[in-house]
Structures are given as structure tokens and as C-alpha cells.
Structure 1
Amino acid sequence: MSWTKVCPLTEIPKLGSRLVRTEKTDIGIFRTEDDRVFALNNTCPHKGGPLSQGIVYGDKVACPLHSWKISLVDGKAEEPDVGQTACYAVKVEDGMVYLEI
């Protein structure tokens, strides 16, 4: 595994996201209102909705298809829904976002 430079933090809007395409999967990079950054597999565990197109609030993202709430911290669906999507390591150094893939 190695760290890959994604973009400056300022290119990800607060309460927004950016999509990163890799050879194996699409990854959503999410920024919270307090500038925390998270990375999840872009596919909702429910019906495969594109999480990067969802609404970010607190430390969750709401899937744009059926409003499932997915934790940005651990990728788990909020109860009563059940399911989980993969999380990826992400860090911000000197204003740049890096993803471990």
C-alpha cells in the first residue's frame, strides 16, 4: 500500500465529496463541515448508489438513491438498515489530501 496524492483539501467542498477512480474501484473522498476527511467505497451497500453524489452531514453521507445513511467513520449503514461499505485510509498533510490504496 502507498499514499497517493489526490488533490488540495480546498478542492473538496465542505459537506461535499470528490470521486477517485482506481483500477479496482471508485472511492468517494468526503469532507465534513469541520474539515475532517474520510474515504469510502463509492457504492452504497443497499442498491449500489453512488455515495459521492449523496448529502454529507455530521459524520455520515445519505445515499442519493434511497437515503440510506452511511457512517463516514466505519462505512456501516445506520440502523435499522444493515450493511457496510469499505473504508480507506486518508490523510491531509500541508493542505493536500492523500489516499492509501
Structure 2
Amino acid sequence: MEIKVHMDSAPNWIAVALFDELPVQSGKTVRYHGLEIALFRFTSGKVHAVQNRCPHKNGVLAEGLVCDEHVYCPMHERKIHIPSGNVQKPDTGCVQTYETKIENGQVYIALPEEREVAV
């Protein structure tokens, strides 16, 4: 479903999900004009956002197994540290991370401009 998102006082913050609708220790995909972002809500309540594709073979990270602060790519089990986006050694690579914030039960991601988002 495509919806027009509302921006708060900072021009690059875009509302992408309701905090209460995010699964704990699991991922949710948000699409932003061809860009796929995976949202992860930790048991601590902290929410992180990363590029939704593994740098190895483009596995969908939101579908991966989450353990502590890591997600395992569902295709080849590459272990990625969600807060930093770094792939755990001996594998190499990283995924883009996005700053997040929660206000009034809404999750925002820092992105460059307002667009339509599929949620």
C-alpha cells in the first residue's frame, strides 16, 4: 500500500511505522521509492534501520533470524551487526544504516526527502 508520509520539524525525518506494530527481535520491510529498508525492534525497545539487502547475495535481511544485535541473512547466514551495519568476520562487507527516532508511538527514519512509502 502506497501512502504519502508526513514529515516532522526536521525535513529529513519520515514516519515509516507504528512502534507497537513492529515485531520484537524480528524484521519489517519498508519500501522507499525503490529503496528497501529493514526495521528491527530489539527487546530493549530500541529500533534500528538498515538497508534490507545482504551485500553477499542480496538476501532480504528483514526475513533473517535476529539474535541479540545481529541478523543472519536468510540465504547464506552472513551475520550482520544491525547497529553498525558491519558483516561479522571472516566475511566482509556492510549495509547502509539509517538513524531512527520514536515520537508519539511513531517510528521515523532520517532520509533525504519526502516521498511515498509502501508499508
| Counterpart in the other structure of 1:84 | 94
Match of 2:5 in 1: none
Question: 1:46: Cα distance to partner?
Answer: 0.9
- Greater RCO (CA < 8 Å, at least 6 residues apart): 2
The gaps in structure 1 that reach 5 residues or longer are none
TM-score (norm. length: structure 1): 0.94
Counterpart in 2 of 1:59?
69
Distance (whole Å) between structure 1 residues aligned to residue 76 and residue 43 of structure 2: 23
Query: Match for residue 30 of structure 1?
Result: 40
Hey, what does 2:6 align to over in structure 1? none
Native 8 Å contact 1:32 1:57 kept in 2: no
Shift in Å at residue 100 of structure 1?
1.0
Pairing 1:45–2:55 present: yes
Secondary structure of 2:75's partner?
coil
- Alignment partner of 1:75 out of 82, 85, 88: 85
| Percent of residue pairs identical | 36
Computing the radius of gyration over CA atoms, which structure comes out larger, 1 or 2? 2
TM-score scaled to structure 2, two decimals? 0.80
Q: How many residues are treated as equivalent by the alignment?
A: 101
Deviations 1:28-61 (A, max 9, x none): 0111121111000001011110001011111111
> Aligned partners of 1:29 and 1:54: how far apart in 2?
12
C-alpha separation in 2, matches of 1:55 and 1:10:
20
Structure 1 segments, 4+ long, off by >6 Å, are none
Report the CA distance between 1:24 and its aligned residue.
3.9
